[in-house]
């Protein structure tokens, strides 16, 4: 049977998804064009950062034929659904700020997602120009520095230079709550991006996040960065009970050391994790949060 294709099939063109809007995508190819694409058939979802092969269908338009294997996929999920955030990222930048207040639980979840995908994570405390509230935020974030995570302090409004060396050679993704300043950072790094940003009161009043879709930007030849919509929760329903503990880097030395192989790290005797908490080697706050997450899937 002859093909019913309207355009003669040619070699697939490699590209990268730079924006994902449900079933519609923008794909950047080597020729620099951002092509408007749809997905062939009923393939699973694709995310910003996915490497794909496309077939041209008309000028400036194409069809995604293949999603190439991913080095990492960041997503969140609850009992009902999954939401892809970004693919192939090598680094997660968790953006927090003293105003509006940030959630330590969200930081813990983001870190666990990064650990699960074995990608680097760093915490960026933005809005340091708000000096008084920032002081308290620095104190509560000290825990993460102790855990070995890089904690950078910055003001997207005045100077983003301290962040630049850490973005070199990475595909980074900015994640965090709404209003932390992710898009403001993108605009400071890439003025041509012209990302919409919004006053906090507007965001809180409407209950809407300013950024609605992830978008990938090129910083230089080797460095790219994705701006993503703000999240209230980073659901980790897809990480099963046993893998969850690996999401907490300070637990690593104690995993497998409990008396019982199927230890739930609760009230069982001989729990190495509980003992480490007792000895001050694991923070009680993080351990309690681990249990809160684990309980959700029991
Ligand atoms: N004082 C101060 N305000 C900032 C700074 N960075 C961002 N803001 C303000 O914080 C508000 C929210 O910034 P956005 O960049 O829209 O925040 P976002 O994280 O992208 O929010 P979503 O897109 O909803 O996730 C805006 O009013 C910004 O002007 C900063 O360094 N200092
Ligand atoms: Mg934004
Ligand atoms: Zn245990």
Binding site membership of 184 for ligand 1 (Cβ less than 6 Å): yes
Q: Is residue 251 one of the residues assigned to a domain?
A: yes
The rounded Å distance from CA 100 to ligand 2 centre is 14
**Same structural domain, 30 and 172:** no
Regarding whether 61 and 100 lie in a shared domain, the answer is no
143: enclosing H helix or E strand: helix 131-146
Query: What is the CATH classification number for the domain harbouring 285?
Result: 1.10.40.50
Q: What percent of the chain has pLDDT over 70?
A: 91
Three-state DSSP class for 112?
helix
Residue 207 in this model has a pLDDT that exceeds 70: no
For residue 298, pLDDT beyond 60: no
Number of domains in the chain: 3
224 touches 193 (CB < 8 A) = no
Q: Which atom of ligand 1 is nearest to the CA of 126?
A: 31
Same domain, 188 and 285: no
Provide the pLDDT for residue 41.
Answer: 78
Assigned domain for 29 exists: yes
Q: What is the pLDDT of residue 7?
A: 54
pLDDT value of position 212: 83
Whole-number mean pLDDT of the chain?
Answer: 90
Q: How many CB atoms lie within 10 A of CB 147?
A: 16
* Domain contains 108: yes
Quick: pLDDT tens for 109-146.
Answer: 999 999 999 999 999 999 999 999 999 999 999 999 99
Average pLDDT over residues 20-40: 89
The percentage of the chain sitting over the pLDDT mark of 90, rounded to a whole number, equals 77
What pLDDT band is residue 199 in, cutting at 50, 70 and 90?
low
Residue 6 lies in a domain: no
More confident call, 241 vs 199: 241
Residue 1 lies inside a defined structural domain of this protein: no
Look up the domain containing 277 and give its range: 241-296
pLDDT in tens, 173-191: 999 999 999 999 999 999 8
- The CATH number linked to 121 is 3.40.50.300
Find the 80 Cα to ligand 3 centroid distance in Å. Answer: 29
> Is 1's pLDDT higher than 50?
no
Q: Are residues 86 and 210 in the same domain?
A: yes
**Do 76 and 228 form a contact (C-beta atoms < 8 A)?**
no
Write the CA distances from 197 to 27, 181, 207, 208, integer angstroms: 24, 8, 14, 12
- Distant-in-sequence, close-in-space partners of 96: CB < 8 Å, separation ≥ 6: 102, 107, 123, 124, 125, 126, 137, 141, 176, 177, 180
Give me ligand 1 centre to Cα 45, in Å: 29
């Amino acid at each position: 049977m002859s093909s019913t294709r309207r355009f003669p099939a040619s070699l697939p063109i490699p590209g990268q998804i730079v924006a994902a809007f449900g079933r519609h995508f923008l794909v950047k190819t080597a020729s620099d064009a951002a092509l408007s694409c749809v997905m062939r058939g009923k393939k699973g979802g694709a995310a910003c950062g996915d490497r794909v092969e496309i077939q041209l269908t008309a000028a400036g338009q194409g069809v995604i034929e293949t999603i190439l294997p991913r080095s990492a996929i960041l997503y969140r999920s609850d009992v009902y659904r999954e939401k892809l955030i970004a693919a192939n990222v090598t680094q997660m930048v968790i953006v927090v700020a003293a105003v509006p207040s940030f959630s330590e639980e969200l930081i813990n979840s983001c870190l666990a997602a990064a650990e699960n995908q074995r990608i680097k994570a760093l915490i960026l405390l933005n809005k340091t120009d708000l000096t008084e509230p920032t002081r308290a935020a620095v104190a509560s974030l000290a825990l993460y520095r102790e855990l070995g995570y890089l904690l950078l302090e910055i003001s997207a409004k005045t100077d983003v230079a301290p962040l630049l060396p850490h973005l070199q050679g990475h595909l980074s993704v900015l994640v965090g709550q709404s209003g932390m300043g992710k898009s403001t950072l993108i605009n400071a790094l890439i003025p041509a991006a012209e990302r919409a940003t919004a006053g906090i009161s507007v965001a809180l009043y409407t209950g809407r996040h300013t950024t609605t879709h992830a978008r990938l930007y090129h910083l230089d030849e080797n460095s790219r960065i994705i701006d993503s919509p703000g999240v209230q929760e980073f659901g980790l329903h897809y990480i099963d009970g046993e893998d969850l503990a690996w999401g907490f880097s300070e637990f690593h030395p104690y995993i497998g050391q409990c008396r019982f192989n199927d230890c739930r790290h609760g009230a069982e005797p001989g729990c190495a994790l509980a003992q480490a908490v007792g000895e001050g080697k694991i923070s009680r706050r993080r351990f309690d949060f681990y249990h809160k997450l684990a309980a959700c899937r029991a």
